[in-house]
Structure 1
Amino acid sequence: MTDNLTTREQPDRSKINMNQIHEVRYWTKHLNVSKEELQKAVEKVGNSAAAIRKELAVE
């Protein structure tokens, strides 16, 4: 089976990857926080989106 580079998979919204600029942009906008606030939360509780929402008290 060959890799099809024309299709894109759905992003994994259950994890936050701080190494991907587009993900950081999405999450900072979605959670209404700065990149620094997001980074601190990830360092504190890990990259789980649910844990980050809980840490930042975002529904």
Structure 2
Amino acid sequence: RVVNKREYCQQCPHLAAPPEMACTHEGTAIVELLDGDDVRVRGCPVAARGGPD
């Protein structure tokens, strides 16, 4: 699933501390940085439910 990193990842408590661009949620991975704003994620419950709270 492709998501906007500012709308999803940067609002999520599971984002690893900079400079690493990784997810700390068990079973979730940031697979690919697509451009300046979008990332491909796998197994992300936040993306699956439609966004951060």
Q: Which has the larger radius of gyration?
A: 1
Q: 1 or 2, which has the higher strand percentage?
A: 2
TM-score when scaled to structure 2?
Answer: 0.30
Which of the pair is proportionally richer in helix? 1
TM-score, length basis structure 1: 0.28
